[in-house]
Each structure stands twice: as structure tokens, then as C-alpha cells.
Amino acid sequence: MAFMSDTRTNSGVDNISTFRKMFHWEVPGERFISIMTAGNLATTQSLISQLEERTKAPGERKPSILAAPTMFQVANIIGATLRETIVARALTGDEASLPNAPNFKASVILGGQIKGMEPRLYLIYPEGNFIEASPETPFFQIGETKYGRPILVRGFESQMSFADITKLLMVSFDSTLKANLSVGLPLDLMLYRNDEFAAFHERRITADDPYFESISEGWSEALRNAFHSLPNYELDA
């Protein structure tokens, strides 16, 4: 499994900050759980704090994601916590119908594996329900998804190496970075190999990362070449 997230949050173009959106928990030899978040920052920070606190209080009423017996149960816990967090803040009545009413929604991509079971990948909605990836839908996106989607749709192949998947993720993020101010460097990358119960590769990709620079610059040139390799339109046809 491969995970990539940006780090930009904004509340208007004049209020931009850098916050981590990728988090993970490891129990050596037993489980690996990774989360990426999109949406309202107060909601996602609260979600992560609640999940984190419970991992340190095993006797609590609500189960910890480190104690849940399956990834499905982990998704359930995260979904329920996410929904509670959003509902607790939701505006009601007149306040909610104001044209500029703030939106406290957030969504989550959850990936992980528990010993003895297959790795799992879920997309969790603000309502707390979720869907699971499958061979037909092998990846999920959350947040500002559209600009980067065409290259994922066309470039993804199920037998790709981790190096190729990383390259594809960088090309996809670069397309979004070039089009939309709400997505910004640095990027976080994490790679997970089945049955290792720990990330085997983690990296923060900053603006001066030489590999990312070579992808970002090389892609423009490569796209132009790809474009010119296509047959020309005949105006007289």
C-alpha cells in the first residue's frame, strides 16, 4: 500500500498553514494502521487526538483502534468518532442556513493490516459510513481530487512497483499543485509492504527535493512530447 498527502490547510487564501494530514500507528509484528485526513482541520485534529488518547487508555468505554480485532472494526471506530466530532460542532437552525455557514465535515482514508488477515483500504465519509477498495477500485482520493485524477485513472496498473507508484503519485500531486492553491508542498509519502506491520519507507518531500523537481520539470516536457506524438488534426477533413 502507498499513501501520499499534502500538508496545506487554509481558511481563505490569506490564512494558509502547514499541518500534517498523514498519521500512523504500529504494533510491531501485530498491526499497522495508517490514516490520511481531508476537510476541516479542527475536526481532523480532534479525531486524531481522540484516537490517540484511547490507545493509551485501554480500559476506556470506547475501544482503541489498537485493540479492535479487525480492520473493519477499526474503520467502524474511526467512522463513529468522526461522525460524533462533526455532529457535536454542527450548526443548527438559522445559523446553519447562513450562506457562509462553516462546514465542519472531514473524510478519511484508512489503510492497514492486522496479523493473520489481509491488508485493507477504506474511504470513510463524514457520516461515519465507509467503503472498501477492491480490485476494480484499487485506490481512493479525498480532498481536492479532480485535477490529479486523470493521470491516476490512466496511469495506474495493478502490478506496479513501489517506485512506479511513488512516481505516479508525484505526477498526480504535481498536476494538482500547479492548478490549485489549496494544495501545497511539502508532501508526505509512506509505503507499506504486506505482513511487515511497519512502514518500510517514509519521506517528507519538500520544495527543494531533487527527485520531485525532476518529476515536476520532466513531466511538462514529457507531456509535450506525448502530445506531439499523437496524430495531427486535419482541418480539411
Residues that bind a second copy (CB under 8 A): 97, 146-151, 153-155, 162-164, 166-168, 170-171, 175-176, 178-179, 191, 201, 211, 214-215, 218-220, 222-227, 229-235, 237
Least Å from the CB of residue 236 to a second copy: 9
Q: Which is nearer to a second copy, 77 or 215 (CB)?
A: 215
Least Å from the CB of residue 84 to a second copy: 21
Q: Which is nearer to a second copy, 105 or 167 (CB)?
A: 167
Question: What ranges make up the beta strands (E) of 65-215?
Answer: 106-114, 120-124, 130-132, 187-192, 199-205
Query: Among residues 205, 178, 149, which one has the least CA distance to residue 18?
Result: 205
Q: Which is nearer to a second copy, 118 or 234 (CB)?
A: 234
Q: Which is nearer to a second copy, 13 or 230 (CB)?
A: 230
What phi and psi values does residue 65 have, to the nearest 5 degrees?
Answer: -65, -15
Least Å from the CB of residue 165 to a second copy: 9
- How far is C-alpha 78 from the geometric centre of its chain's CA atoms? 15
What are residue 37's DSSP bridge partners? 108
Q: Which is nearer to a second copy, 46 or 166 (CB)?
A: 166
Least Å from the CB of residue 228 to a second copy: 8
- How far is C-alpha 209 from the geometric centre of its chain's CA atoms? 21
Q: Which is nearer to a second copy, 72 or 162 (CB)?
A: 162
Q: Which three cell numbers stand for residue 219?
A: 513531466
Least Å from the CB of residue 234 to a second copy: 7
d(CA 20, CA 100): 26
Least Å from the CB of residue 227 to a second copy: 6
- On whether the CB atoms of residues 21 and 188 are closer than 8 A, the answer is yes
Cα distances (angstroms) measured from residue 28 to each of 32, 62, 67, 204: 8, 23, 14, 23
